[in-house]
Amino acid sequence: MRALQGGCLSLWLLASSTLWAAAPAQQYQQLRSQATLLAVNALLYFDADPRLQPDARHLTSLREAQQRLDALAVELDLSADMGDSLASLNAWLDDLQALRRDEAPRYPQLLIGLLDSRAQLDRQAAATYQQGQDQLSPAARLLNRQSLDIASLLLHAQARSARVLGDHSLAFAEAEFVARDRAIEQGFAELISILPEQADRLHKQRLAYRFVRKRLLDRDPGKVIGGLERYLAGIVVALDALAAR
């Protein structure tokens, strides 16, 4: 699988030359977003119940996110520590994909390792982003915050719905879910105010978020939220792209 991704890497870099022309801080933002979306799709695809048939679209999405992370790593020439964290995330994902479906009960241990590697990569990328965020406009910084709030809420909601992970430290407390939801609503209002030329697009994104937010915030730990990923991942990517312009 990694060999296949390597063959796609140069094509991805070529097709994304405009996006990669963004300031380095913006690329670290994209690194954080893509790592989070990868983790969301890993949780959705690698369900520990061997009786369930996984949705192959989530496998496609996580592989695409992995390709984008690899491309960003090349473009940014990551520090050794950040490169190690990305390599660890990739290794956990390779281990998951190497298991047969009848070995699905082994998924949780590997998923927890993947989540921990993503969290470490996220902390490192966040620190580097903060050092360079003065390169970005106030609007871009707000777009980035909105993107990360949505991606983070999606990841924590999926971790909560994956009962097999138990009380893994990723899970938000209930108050944090509510606070993050309020921050997202406020973020859309602020963005529409300061970016009137993008108001129609942002309004549609806010409507899409509101359409799924009830299920996103549902406290039922067994709730399947795979359909939400397709709504919210598109918003995350669109916000990142708008910030990079």
What is the end-to-end Cα distance of the chain in Å, rounded? 33
- Coil, helix or strand for 152? helix
- Reported as a single tens digit per residue, the pLDDT across 125-146 is 999 999 999 999 999 999 999 9
Q: What are phi and psi of 27, to 5 degrees?
A: -70, -35
Percentage of the chain beyond pLDDT 70 is: 84
**183 and 213 in contact (C-beta within 8 Å)?**
no
pLDDT at residue 174, as a whole number: 75
Give the pair of three-digit tokens for residue 193. 């105010």
Higher pLDDT, 160 or 56: 56
- Reported as a single tens digit per residue, the pLDDT across 200-227 is 999 999 999 999 988 888 776 555 566 7
206 Cβ contact partners less than 8 Å away, ≥ 6 residues apart: 185, 188, 192
The predicted model gives 174-200 an average pLDDT of 94
pLDDT at residue 165 greater than cutoff 90: no
How much is the mean pLDDT over the chain?
A: 86
pLDDT at residue 3, as a whole number: 42
Q: Report the C-alpha gap between 145 and 126 in whole angstroms.
A: 11
pLDDT at residue 64 greater than cutoff 70: yes
- Reported as a single tens digit per residue, the pLDDT across 16-53 is 444 445 789 999 999 999 999 999 999 999 988 788 88
Percentage of the chain beyond pLDDT 90 is: 66
pLDDT at residue 203, as a whole number: 97
Query: For 158-162, 167-171, 223-227, which range has the lowest pLDDT when averaged over its residues?
Result: 167-171
pLDDT at residue 100, as a whole number: 92
- Coil, helix or strand for 234? helix
pLDDT at residue 46, as a whole number: 93
pLDDT band of residue 120 (cuts 50, 70, 90) is very high
